[in-house]
Amino acid sequence: MALQQAAERVAAEFEYSASDVNRGVTEFIREMDEGLGKSGATMSQIPTYVTAVPNGTEKGLYMAVDLGGTNFRVCSIQLHGNSTFSLTQSKVAIPKELMVAKTSRELFAFLAKQIEAFLKEHHEEHYESHKEKRKGGGDIEQDIFSLGFTFSFPVQQFGINKGTLIRWTKGFDIPDAIGKDVCALLQDEIDRLGLPVRVAALVNDTVGTLMARSYTSPGKTGTLLGAIFGTGTNGAYVEKLSKVTKLDASAAEVDDSTGEMIINTEWGSFDNHLSVLPQTPYDKALDAESVNPGIQMFEKRVSGMFLGEILRRALLALLKDPAVPLFTDENSNQNDVHSTTNVAADSPLYKQWGLDSSFLSIATGDTSAGLKVTRQTLDKDYGVSAASAEDAEAVRLIAAAVGKRAARLSAVAIAAIVIATDKLSKPTDIATDNDANLEVNEDDIVDVGVDGSLVEFYPRFEEYIREALREVEKIGKTGERKVRIGIAKDGSGVGAALIALVADGKGRGE
């Protein structure tokens, strides 16, 4: 009983009430507006120069490459014009020495070589005929593939295919690339090899998620928001160009034909000053011992990278409390293994980042008799032998609370964007929602594309998001029903190709 009460007490620390959600939404909208008006705001609100989302009728053959970390992916995407596509791809590991090369040219020459190898293998005819035309001085313009370049490092963007590297992350360190236009670096090496490829767009993977969802989503409604809830979290949405006032002061090239622009929020840094975000002792300790204290505070409460560590710290607090019988023999009478409960001295529970976030999904979704699956996982992966059913229930309770809070915080971001963009034509009163069973008109649907392991694998994540959306005063039950949430796959592949298509259309129109 003492264990159950202690677990319930810890779980209660992760409660995020309806009034908390509403306060969060108000602050999120304030930070969105601030970020649209000036650089250096808490929420970056980065203009992407992508000015349209697809509707599923687009056709054509496009290329995409993705330098996201240790691998480089090359794809070609055939868009069929009916919301479907075919994708061909290859992937290669980046040699360690190139991640810290003397010059950026070494890395980008390697990338161009992979594009060449891909063309030779999958588009040989196209590649050879282009080579012949180049030799003979023929018209090569219509042969050229437009390419979307997903480059998952911090860049300052100046146009749809112009962006300078701010800094390297993820183990890369090539100093001479900093301050250079990464699209130009890749294009130079492509041109050196005489390949029929033009770098048409610099792509952020979250923006790609929005584009991929908008192309594949049912009906004619364009997607409003693409969101990632996985290892990290971020969102990109369609904004009125007139609201992006900080663009006025920049020297960037802006296509204003649609009156809209996709904004990359970089919402992981929302409320770094902790005016509305929840703060438990476990959040506080995690942040203090992280590589970037005081930064990415929203991400540290929402993304998969951190949820396992929050749970580990909460469990450790109980383990260290002599009054709480967690993983002790006090519960052995419940223990059908009939052996002593013991936590190994070298258990990952004692190490920073030792608890994988996937364990939250396992524990929360465990419906086995006596929570056997959770107990086996504790034994196999975390050095906790012969945990009792009571132990497993305590773990499940806290894991569920950590995950539910993450989902409710995710709802704050979604709700704020739906409200700030005025997508629900008439606000609904939370107290007088009588029409909750009426059909939603296709034209009233607000489409949201989501990607990431939390949304896909964490039990009831979307359900918890929806529950919180209904509690938002300017959304309510009627508004929540208009929000359609759908999985968007492969933002860095098909999404990047679609951004190249939009950039291409812009190029042809000039």
Query: Among this protein's residues, is 152 annotated catalytic?
Result: yes
- The token duo for 149 is 């370049």
Rounded CA separation 404/323 (Å): 27
Do residues 318 and 7 make contact, with C-beta atoms less than 8 angstroms apart?
yes
Adjacent-strand bridge partners of 227: 235, 450
Rounded to 5 degrees, what angle do the CA atoms 416, 48, 62 make? 120
Do residues 3 and 206 make contact, with C-beta atoms less than 8 angstroms apart?
no
- The token duo for 55 is 């509707």
The DSSP annotation for 93-128 comes to EPPHHHHT-SSHHHHHHHHHHHHHHHHHHHSHHHHH
The residue annotated as part of the active site, out of 167, 242, 250, 275, is 167
Max CA distance (Å), the chain: 86
Rounded CA separation 36/32 (Å): 6
Phi then psi for residue 372, to 5 deg, are: -60, -40
Adjacent-strand bridge partners of 449: 226, 486
Instruction: Give the Å distances, CA to CA, from 391 to 117, 312, 337, 467.
Output: 54, 14, 13, 29
| Burial letters 379-398, b for 16+ CB under 10 A, else e | eebbbbbbbbbbbbbbbbbb
Rounded CA separation 392/143 (Å): 61
Rounded CA separation 472/493 (Å): 34
The residue annotated as part of the active site, out of 152, 290, 358, 453, is 152
Catalytic residue ranges: 152, 167, 205
